[in-house]
């Protein structure tokens, strides 16, 4: 029996699980939406024992099955014991965004039972606490377009990616809009002077050369960047040794337009040179 790569797509309703499974199908996974949990081991064995073995499988598991979490963790433990590589991808979004999505689609939340969508979302979050804690990759889709989600998953699961390297996600954000849901590590850049208070620089972003030139003239910028790279150069291999496949590093400034964007771009260039698969997302760069 060959070993399979099994990806479990789960998360809160309305966060984009249907789009995620379509993306994985596009890059070569055999995908099934809402397979009963108890059938997962049998299904995986059938995939790997057939003459033309299916080695990449993605399954959507969510609250539609009811008490699906009760046997799920034992099942995943069994699959890993059989040599299969099992990863859990958890899709999340803010309550505000989820409520708006349900309102726009005019579909009821599966757990609302005649109540508001927010009530259903709150109940669902409680049910998903454990599986969220077990997830290998948490993706906050609050500000992602369908195309950005597809690009993110493609970079994480394309078979050509260097499997010996952890996949890095670098996110810039504005503190005034809250921390990213999916951040594993957060760094603050607000101690640097803000280009927002300079008229000529305010309309620009950290993607513009003028912002980089302004920040690099500040005496502490270069030492901070060098120490930040050195710290991450030390920590990331330790995460790899622990067996982590993904790491999300977030850098914040006040509005998410200038300082955090610049630092994310600098780190992205550094880690790509080091051979890592890097996904970059500037969460708040378009906000006013």
Question: What are the residue boundaries of the structural domains of the chain, listed by start?
Answer: 5-157, 167-282
Do 142 and 98 form a contact (C-beta atoms < 8 A)?
Answer: no
Task: From residue 30, give the alpha-carbon distance in Å to each of 157, 178, 199.
Answer: 13, 36, 53
pLDDT digits over 90-114, tens only? 999 999 999 999 888 878 888 877 7
**Superfamily for 5-157?**
P-loop containing nucleotide triphosphate hydrolases (3.40.50.300)
Higher pLDDT residue, 229 or 108?
A: 229
Question: What is the pLDDT averaged over residues 270-284?
Answer: 92
Question: At residue 193, what are phi and psi to the nearest 5 degrees?
Answer: -60, 140
pLDDT digits over 125-167, tens only? 998 999 999 999 999 999 888 888 888 888 788 754 444 578 8
Is residue 282 pLDDT above 80, yes or no? Answer: yes
Q: What is the pLDDT of residue 167?
A: 86
- Which residues make Cβ contacts (< 8 Å) with residue 20, sequence separation at least 6? 9, 60, 89, 91, 139, 149, 153
Q: What is the pLDDT of residue 53?
A: 82
Do 194 and 261 form a contact (C-beta atoms < 8 A)?
Answer: no
Is residue 58 pLDDT above 80, yes or no? Answer: yes
Question: What is the pLDDT averaged over residues 23-42?
Answer: 88
Task: From residue 188, give the alpha-carbon distance in Å to each of 5, 251, 261, 282, 287.
Answer: 36, 6, 12, 15, 19
């Amino acid at each position: 029996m060959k070993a399979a790569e099994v990806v479990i797509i789960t998360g809160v309703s309305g966060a984009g699980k249907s789009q995620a499974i379509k993306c994985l199908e596009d890059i070569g996974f055999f995908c099934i939406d809402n397979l009963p949990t108890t059938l997962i081991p049998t299904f995986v064995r059938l995939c790997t024992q057939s003459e033309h073995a299916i080695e990449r499988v993605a399954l959507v598991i969510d609250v539609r099955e009811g008490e699906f979490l009760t046997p799920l963790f034992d099942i995943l433990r069994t699959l890993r014991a059989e040599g299969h590589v099992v990863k859990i991808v958890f899709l999340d979004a803010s309550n505000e965004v989820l409520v708006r999505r349900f309102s726009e689609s005019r579909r009821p939340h599966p757990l609302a039972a005649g109540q508001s969508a927010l009530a259903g979302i709150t109940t669902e979050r409680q049910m998903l606490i454990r599986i969220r804690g077990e997830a290998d990759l948490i993706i906050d889709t609050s500000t992602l377009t369908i195309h950005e989600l597809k690009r993110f998953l493609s970079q994480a699961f394309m078979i050509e990616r260097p499997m010996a390297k952890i996949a890095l996600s670098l996110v810039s954000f504005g503190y005034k809009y809250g921390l990213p849901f999916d951040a594993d590590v957060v760094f603050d850049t607000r101690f640097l002077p803000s280009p927002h208070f300079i008229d000529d620089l305010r309309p620009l972003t950290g993607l513009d050369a003028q912002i980089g030139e302004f920040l690099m003239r500040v005496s502490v910028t270069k030492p901070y960047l060098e120490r930040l790279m050195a710290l991450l150069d030390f920590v990331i291999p330790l995460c790899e040794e622990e067996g982590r496949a993904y790491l999300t590093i977030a850098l914040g400034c006040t509005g998410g337009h200038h300082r955090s964007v610049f630092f994310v771009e600098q780190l992205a260039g550094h880690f790509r040179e080091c051979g890592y698969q890097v996904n970059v997302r500037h969460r708040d760069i378009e906000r006013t």
